[in-house]
Chain A
């Protein structure tokens, strides 16, 4: 069996080497695929903080993904049309600057996570799963009928947004940005796991009564985890929108929430690199199975089933021979 840190190192190395090789042999599409994997991984890292560490099975994380996407879409749309965005009493101009867009995406999704968390965390178990799903559906239907920003058609951004000093229109620099942000998020999660907060959150998942009897409030721990989680997933949403130069209500769909959970499970739940490995595997499967058969969803389903039934720790569990945290 292989130690987890070696696997993590190989995964990171692979994320550097494969796109670089693709750049050399002029296969830019491979870089696009790798970017997709990295951005999905970032979204799933966000979810993993709530789900893997906090034990919060959220079937509504697409809300934050979508909010991040629309933060990008709306700001860039106003910049593209030179029409200021009116917020009641004051107006702000749109922007094509990635750092500002990211900040807005993070703040907006964190606020949404705070509101949704305050309401949903009163429930637990299946009820929590279902109420998060319900919030996802609300945002989905709202986005579909919000014609000012394209409704179901979504919003197209003709050119990718800018980052100071980089040509983001080239696949490689944009990939680099996404990878850097993924690494930051991984470091964030890692430090959280080692922190007092991580210790308490981890315990709150396994034995909430214990956490209460030492004088801590599990609800507040979970709320903070949910907000951080939503913010990271929101950032991923903004990047995903920039990758596609497009946002639409499908970013809010419950299938997307389901897919984010799938990524975490096939990689290994509650493990730092679980979502990364899961996202890579998912993109490869999607691409490779999709090329072999029209009915690739059947096989994706079968693979998922096998993992749930026989490989409880996901791919990382298989490779390291250790089960991960139980959620």
Chain B
């Protein structure tokens, strides 16, 4: 395998990781601040993608579609927080798992009710379509480069938000001591709604961005959701830094595992069998990675509390 191909594959892994980060950041933020396991996070991703596809279909503007996706997911998130989630903060993990599982059912079939059973169309904007040549002669899709860029910008933005703003101080305080910030006069339920909507908006953004290169369909959120959980568990639940590192690890493992494991097995097996065994193992790779991390560090790489 040539170095160029390897570099291209590493870029692919990075891009996948960065998208996973957008999903995981919201998830881990919500868990860190509110102690809530939100299985319905994948549904918000789907909401973002469908909103973007609907608006792009009607207006033809990708930018407008992105904005709508953000707004729709944030609104859906805030609504869900106010109607349902708010009652679950004191509940056990079990209740949270269950209630948000119920939300998945409602969102998925509800979306099908509204949009029908067929996938929707969402395309890359013209300005970002096609490949560009990178130094060294690698041809790489511009849109994917843009995704990496957007992901890194969001990561920086989140860092700035938590480290440098008033809201960030409240969020960090909320992670450490809920009673304390309530005592300081912060309106905690408003803070929770904002954080939840922020997390939802990130998921919606990821859905819209990814929807342009994938299929916008019912249930698209669930595989990503499970990977996002893997990411935040590896990174340590509640840690944005952990989510970033975890997302890149998972993205690279998944992408590179799919390529190298079959090649590895070809060294000592017949081609057909090697391709199949290698692919089977590759599809299990991220879960194996997660188990290994947890066995080594039961609260993840950067996790503080269980």
Contact = CB atoms under 8 A, between A and B. Distances in A.
Q: Taking the complex as a whole, does A directly touch B, i.e. does some CB pair lie under 8 Å apart?
A: yes
A243 to B, nearest CB: 24
Nearest to A57: B94
Contacts of A265: 94, 98
A84 B306 CA distance: 48
Contacts of A131: 233, 290-291, 294
B172 interface: no
A146 interface: yes
Given A123-B306, A124-B306, A133 B226 contact: yes
B130 to A, nearest CB: 34
B126 to A, nearest CB: 37
Contact of B105 (A133, A254, A304, A327): A304
Contacts of B163: none
Contacts, number: 135
B102 A134 contact: no
B109 A295 contact: yes
Contacts of B276: 145, 147
B283 A141 contact: yes
**Looking at chain B's contact residues, is the secondary structure mostly helix, strand, loop, or mixed?**
helix
Nearest to B37: A126
Contacts of A300: 102, 105
Contacts of A134: 230, 233, 287, 290-291
Nearest to A303: B102
A265 B294 CA distance: 28
B82 to A, nearest CB: 13
Interface residues of B, number: 45
Contacts of A142: 280, 284
Interface residues of A, number: 45
B280 to A, nearest CB: 3
Contacts of A138: 284, 287-288, 291
A302 B102 contact: yes
A250 interface: no
A135 interface: yes
A76 interface: no
Contacts of A133: 226, 229
Contacts of B303: 127
A261 to B, nearest CB: 6
Contacts of B299: 123, 127
Contacts of B101: 258, 261-262, 304
9 contacts: A51-B94, A119-B294, A123-B306, A126-B306, A130-B233, A144-B280, A254-B226, A304-B105, A305-B103
The 8 closest A-B pairs by CB, nearest first: A301-B105, A145-B280, A304-B102, A301-B106, A141-B283, A297-B109, A301-B102, A134-B287
